[in-house]
A and B are shown apart, each in its own frame.
Chain A
């Protein structure tokens, strides 16, 4: 399809969003990522039954943790699509990028070490 999506999005592949842990999302923000989003299968379509539902819970938990420490919880989001929806993937990447741009850079970036 050769679809364009913003170059600032770095993809980390996992076998299932159920593999994504609170630690992974928190670490990304701690190390200066402006935002993190988890893209899982459509709800009800998880090959492992409830991996994406568990990921959704974890994303919501991380949003709370970020708010507690004084960051915008919405820097972390969850999106759902099916593997056949390339254009939707690109659209979500654009949407998240615009959203994060509106929030501004992660204030922890200046503390992040290379």
Chain B
């Protein structure tokens, strides 16, 4: 899932400065699961904003509405009849959702309440860890299911580097060396030959937004 972290309250307050009527829009998918931007988090943030502005004798009307997904037109449609009553929209969705919201209502300022952080896994309630950098060139089949881009500090597709130190990384002695873990796992699976395959580097530079149209879903002309 996409994991996000709520922005510091002062930053959100600053973004809302000057607005008197705002709709805070939550997203019921990834950011709800990581306890950052779902219906409940919308309520808590709204209460904070409401109280902070009252304490400044500058009240704001801040309402909340959570849709299933902000990255999907089908669900954004539910907002069409609501947003025009507001001076600004605050979004608790990931960066994709926030942009899709802003694209749909270009005449209204759309402000982010969260920082999108990573694609990760749920280790325990409220505890998430990054696992994927969305590099578009997955090598997990060769690396024993351990992502060298995410788990290696240098993001090496071919490793380890000279900084591997008794199974740990040179940049942080508490961080296991990804390529050591990959070696150990491949050895256990009897697939050490995989580590000899050289993976060409990914061209990270000059990327334009990536697009995917699934086979069989191309719009008829």
Contact = CB atoms under 8 A, between A and B. Distances in A.
Contacts of B51: 29-30, 69, 71, 108
Contacts of A27: 47
B108 interface: no
A21 B10 CA distance: 23
15 contacts: A22-B44, A23-B40, A23-B44, A26-B47, A30-B50, A30-B51, A68-B52, A69-B9, A69-B55, A70-B52, A70-B55, A70-B56, A71-B55, A107-B55, A108-B51
Interface string B41-66: 00110011011101110010000000
A48 interface: no
Interface of B: 9-10, 40, 43-44, 47-48, 50-52, 54-56, 59
- Specify which of A21, A26, A27 lies most central, judged by the most chain B CB atoms within 10 Å of its CB: A26
A61 to B, nearest CB: 9
Task: Tell me whether chain B's interface is mostly helix, strand or loop, or mixed.
Answer: helix
A39 to B, nearest CB: 23
Interface in A1-54: 21-23, 26-27, 29-30
A30 B10 contact: no
A65 B55 contact: no
Contacts of B52: 68-70
Given A108-B54, A111-B59, A69 B48 contact: yes
Given A29-B51, A108-B51, A65 B59 contact: no
Given A107-B55, A108-B54, A111-B59, A68 B10 contact: yes
- Specify which of B50, B51, B52 lies most central, judged by the most chain A CB atoms within 10 Å of its CB: B51
Given A65-B9, A69-B52, A71-B55, 19 more contacts: A22-B44, A23-B40, A23-B43, A23-B44, A23-B47, A26-B44, A30-B47, A30-B50, A30-B51, A65-B48, A68-B48, A68-B52, A69-B9, A69-B48, A70-B52, A70-B56, A107-B55, A108-B55, A111-B59
Interface residue tally on A, bucketed by range: 10 to 19
Closest 8 CB pairs of A and B: A69-B52, A68-B9, A26-B47, A111-B54, A70-B55, A69-B51, A30-B47, A69-B48
Contacts of B50: 30
Contacts of A71: 51, 55
A24 B9 CA distance: 20
A41 to B, nearest CB: 21
A22 B46 CA distance: 13
- Specify which of A21, A27, A68, A70 lies most central, judged by the most chain B CB atoms within 10 Å of its CB: A68
Interface string A60-78: 0000010011110000000
Contacts of B59: 111
Nearest to A110: B54
Interface in A67-114: 68-71, 107-108, 111
Nearest to B53: A69
A22 B126 CA distance: 14
B44 A65 contact: yes
